[in-house]
Structure 1
Amino acid sequence: MNPRVFILAIATFVVGTVELIIGGTMNLITEDLNIPLSAAGQLITVFSLSFAISAPILMHATRSMPRKPLYLTALFGFFLSNVLAALSPIYALLLVARILSAACGALLTVLSISIATQLVEPAYRGRALGIIFMGISGSLVLGVPLGMTLGNAFGWRAPFWFIAALSLLAMLILSRQLPQVQISPSVPLRVQLASLKDSKIVSAQLISMFMLTGHLTLYAYFTPYLETTMHLEAGWLSIIYLVFGLAAVTGGGVGGWIADKWGPTKSMLFIISSFALVMASLPFATKSLYIFLIVMILWSALSWAISPAQQNYLIHAAPGTSDIQLGLNTSVLHAGIALGSAIGGIVVERASVLYNPWVGAIFVLFSLGFAIFSITRPVREKSVARLPIES
């Protein structure tokens, strides 16, 4: 495996970390900027929505630009946006910084996927994609505990300074290590979107979208949920988030083992059903910290166990455009994060954070419904040559 693929995965980890980093410092931001909890939650929604929209648009707009200079330029823009976030004196400016950060991060993530597939031989392409997606998923689960640790020690602006510093470090490394990559033949946007006419593929993409919608309905507001239900202090919150992150990363590996043993379809049905059940049972476990930790570990592990099975399923469901589907899936994932954090904010504002686990579980059941619908549809797409991932 080309070691540069691991460097790209580290870069995507840095980019992805900033998305949910707000979750661990939400209470600090609300106090400092004098905004309601739901408004702080929308900082996640805006980031994820901007990411989902920007990814295909920016890749299409920059399709003829050399990859290495474009990558480094986007990384520098990501650095500046995090500096702006760290310096923001008001909520509106922080919101703008999050939008800019998401746009640069979206371009970097999809470029990383595209470049990684060109750095390796075709036989290693799947492994290269797996390494990049490990960076993405790892950042999403470890961003909150990282933000919480730095935020509690040095204030909510510290995580943004930390990410800015890591961005500069990544720029220095990649400016030397990243080779000049040949621009792939441009695939018109209409060709990419044409595959979404197939109901089997559309519903397959919606599996992960509604899975993450349900998950983020609670996870985006997990800190206030723990403070309200269990009255935990900052020290315990940091421990819980660390355990959550480790369980989520482990869950990805377990999910890969399940997918290999049972196949993608059975794995998806089992994981999604279990996830809905565990999430709905979380409120009943809050009376005991030890029982809650057990249930939370299961919830965390299952949250990312779906990824290997779902990505394998997309490859089988769309053999001719599987690279494109995996690229589009990054936008779909962030759309689910945006929707979940938005819905979670509505529940917090109009009812109580106590209801977020049950509302989230309902959306996970939608994911299960789309999985059943997709699995029962026939494969229409012929097994043709795989198209490049770029737009």
Structure 2
Amino acid sequence: MKASVIILSYNQREVIKACLSSLSRQRIDDGDQYEVVIVDNGSQDGTGEMIGGLTFDFPILYYYVPRTAESSRAAARNKGITNASGDVVVFLDGDQLAEPNFIYEHLRVHKLAKGKLVIGFRRYLSQSSMDLTSLKPGWVNTVLSSSEEDERFLLMKRFSENGSAFRTAWHLFFSCNFSVDRELMIQSGMFDEGFKGWGLEDSELGYRLQKDGGAFVFNKNALTFHIYHASEFDESRHLGWKTNMDYFLSLHPTFEVQAQYILEEFFNPEIRNSWWDCYVRFEQVVRVYQGYEGDRLPVSVIVVYERRPEVLQAIAAEAVFREVVVIDKTTSSDLDILCQFIENDFDVLYYKQPSEDDLIELYHRLAVRGIVKHEIFKSEEAMARSNGRET
């Protein structure tokens, strides 16, 4: 399978160089390949000349688009899509560093099922995390301790690591890190170029793709690191977001789209409520509107220590009657992705190796609702060890 990594650039000469360096250390399966498509949105800092002098172990396609009044992120990304040749297009912002398994993790989902909408995640680097001019193999280990998770990690802890358990996953379809089958993107009409300035063209695409039958998959292992730069959330960005929000609603005059105005309390510098609080309210309001009651009923809990063939069948069978909480204790399996493919009347709430504190908090929440069934998939030998017995 081939991936086309599409990156936008605008006057980010050194940053884009670091981004490309991180992509040169990707680990992919034998037979897979990738290219990088850079769309330069009118840079004037020598970005093109710098890229022309670089040599990497992957092909780079570079397109310079003169900046005009009609320039937009949507138009630039569409140029990248139409000039890509991969089976899958992976979107990455130029101010991100790709973790060494970044492309592998995106392709892993697309190999398991065609047509999924894959949402990757990011961590934020501190101002003094690392020297961008010298990335060495294993560089990720040097920055983990000085980075923090984006807010969507908190949402997964609060709700689920299963994208289909969110009623508003389409809003989380951030263009800094997601992937889609290229033909599906083209058939959808790609990004709407009516969006100008910053914000929401990616969420609108996610909303449209979902309406056309697309299903979201969260993959927190498809990870990037956001290079530090000063925050730009000022009144200008607020007004730009609101303009795009109004345009979004004109395209899709529905309750769930309108409910996004809750998030304005974050973007408005005169209010500046936390994004986390705003988003939780947004998700819960949409859930109530859509009439889903599964999160008010008792649940079944399935703990998986060993990935056995009957695990998925057991999860799907329980999801016919009630929500299922899956606690995945395995170290290496595709359960994190396969659980998200289960389609049934009730949600599958998936958690991969939660910490002890997160597990305690989770069980406290479940105790309030009630646990109908608690099933453990573990080998007899492992069960005996955990019970202190010899087999």
TM, length-normalised to structure 2: 0.25
TM, length-normalised to structure 1: 0.25
**Which of these two proteins has the greater Rg computed from alpha carbons?**
2
The structure with the greater share of residues assigned to helix is 1
The structure with the greater share of residues assigned to strand is 2
